Chain A
């Protein structure tokens, strides 16, 4: 048991199975149509995943998410890095970011749809906004913590400011930036689902609500399981990637689960 439990991915898997079992029992015990047993919902999974239309919807959602996420990385990382290196840039952006922070980004959907229409552009923009903030924040923190002496040495050896930002600040801040990306990735999925639940044109959120409207509760729960697995897998894969990329910067104590 101890050895199996130590393998990466096994405790979460056990936890997932435990959740499903608990769900199954609760559903059988309560016995309302609003909570079908886990087995009924899971039985819908093959039907959803083999239906080309819903697969296209899911793919479209993921594509928007990827584009929004990538755009946010490209824009937000340099902004955050520059904020960390220049007091004026930080002073310029900080109050604006503070004001934007509590705005529910997905709630901008109806307004943005007035300007950009109901298509991909609005949803991608909303995802972009949702992801940008954590990435800017973590890049800012990361670049602020870069060792000054390294930068001075580089400057003394004749490296100019943009090159310093790219060759020194970026790699040094990478561990922190990737933490921001991890938060951003989860947020991208959340914003994607939420914006689709609010706009209800295409995508994962739309399948979910169509099923709800037609009282296909099994499908509703199956979609929730799919979205849940998607969230967990994206995070899991990104975390593996992050450990591989910046494992050198990881304090040994930060491995929380799977050690017992």
Chain B
């Protein structure tokens, strides 16, 4: 009982800074220190958000963003897991791939965006390619590390009962590395969300990121907040959804941490 009470207390304490920020925002906006054009009322932003979420044009832009996001993320998951498995299963692949990963992983992928635009054009494909470039590394590294740290006894048992090396990789080692793989995917999902938005801000004619830039050019402050909040809510929802999926898939796994 007291544990539940403590959790409740923690939840209430956690609301304080969020409410505080909203209150300070409201106070500054009302007091007139900052002109309304620079800092709209939080209520106005909220009302506009709800308004926009019912507008077909806005949802069309959101759908464009989501399509790019999921296509890129999907390709990154397939590519990342495949490369991770290949690097664990084969020494030559590992020796060739891991130094490349080591060079490319810390490079800001967003800098590749102009090159991707030049090569793939202005439309969806360059943005999807950027999402793939950013999302593939966390997944690849999580798969690789996860599979390498799988309890070797599991593989030994499989070998002892006559399971081949390749089959053992897919039916024993990869499933045992699932917690790590899924963590990598979750991180990559939020990264994809952020990257697709930034790519749309830098160069695009549609999508949520473009809406922010368009509002900024027209000096419509309220409309600048709305896409930003939308993409953040999207990230939060996807993150929470993925966590739920992860718990579901991992029932029976020993809980890590």
Q: Which of B142-186 contact A (CB under 8 A)?
A: none
The verdict on A88 contacting B212 (CB below 8 Å), with A11-B99, A228-B107 known, is no
Contact partner, B13, options A15, A19, A92, A198, Cβ 8 Å: A92
Contact partner, A193, options B21, B110, B228, Cβ 8 Å: B110
Residues of B within 8 A of A102 (CB): 190, 193-194, 231-232, 234-236, 239
Q: Is the CB of B95 within 8 A of A260?
A: yes
Residues of B within 8 A of A208 (CB): 111, 114
CB distance from B256 to the nearest CB of A (A): 13
Bound Cα distance from A82 to B9, whole angstroms: 18
Bound Cα distance from A69 to B14, whole angstroms: 26
Bound Cα distance from A91 to B9, whole angstroms: 9
Residues of A within 8 A of B213 (CB): 110, 198
Q: B216 near A: Cβ within 8 Å?
A: yes
Q: B245 near A: Cβ within 8 Å?
A: no
Q: Mark B190-211, 1 if CB is under 8 A from A, else 0.
A: 1001100110011000000100
Residues of B within 8 A of A212 (CB): 114, 117-118
Residues of B within 8 A of A214 (CB): none
Contact count band on A: 35 or more
Residues of B within 8 A of A190 (CB): 108-110
Bound Cα distance from A106 to B228, whole angstroms: 11
A-B residue pair count with CB separations less than 8 angstroms: 157
CB distance from B251 to the nearest CB of A (A): 24
Query: Residue of B at shortest CB range from A238?
Result: B106
Q: Is the CB of A108 within 8 A of B108?
A: no
Q: Is the CB of B114 within 8 A of A99?
A: no
Chain B's interface: helix, strand, loop or mixed, by majority?
Answer: helix
Q: Mark B1-23, 1 if CB is under 8 A from A, else 0.
A: 00000000111011111100100
Residues of B within 8 A of A15 (CB): 99-100, 102-103
Q: Is the CB of A91 within 8 A of B14?
A: yes
Query: Residue of A at shortest CB range from B121?
Result: A34
Bound Cα distance from A115 to B39, whole angstroms: 9
Q: B224 near A: Cβ within 8 Å?
A: yes
Bound Cα distance from A186 to B103, whole angstroms: 13
Contact partner, A232, options B106, B112, B236, Cβ 8 Å: B106
Q: B78 near A: Cβ within 8 Å?
A: no
Contact partner, B18, options A12, A95, A223, Cβ 8 Å: A95
Size of chain B's interface in residues, with CB distance under 8 A?
Answer: 56
Q: Is the CB of B108 within 8 A of A104?
A: no
Contact partner, B231, options A94, A104, A234, A235, Cβ 8 Å: A104
Residues of B within 8 A of A223 (CB): 111
A sample of 5 inter-chain contacts (CB < 8 A) reads A205-B111, A212-B114, A212-B118, A217-B118, A220-B114
CB distance from B140 to the nearest CB of A (A): 12
Q: A114 near B: Cβ within 8 Å?
A: yes
Q: Is the CB of A99 within 8 A of B236?
A: yes
Q: B52 near A: Cβ within 8 Å?
A: no
Residues of A within 8 A of B228 (CB): 103-104, 107-108, 111
| Residue picked from B14, B34, B109, B216, most chain A C-beta under 10 Å | B14
Contact partner, A18, options B34, B100, B112, B225, Cβ 8 Å: B100
Q: A45 near B: Cβ within 8 Å?
A: no
Q: Is the CB of A19 within 8 A of B103?
A: yes
Q: A197 near B: Cβ within 8 Å?
A: yes
Query: Residue of B at shortest CB range from A191?
Result: B108
Q: B38 near A: Cβ within 8 Å?
A: yes
Q: Is the CB of A12 within 8 A of B102?
A: yes
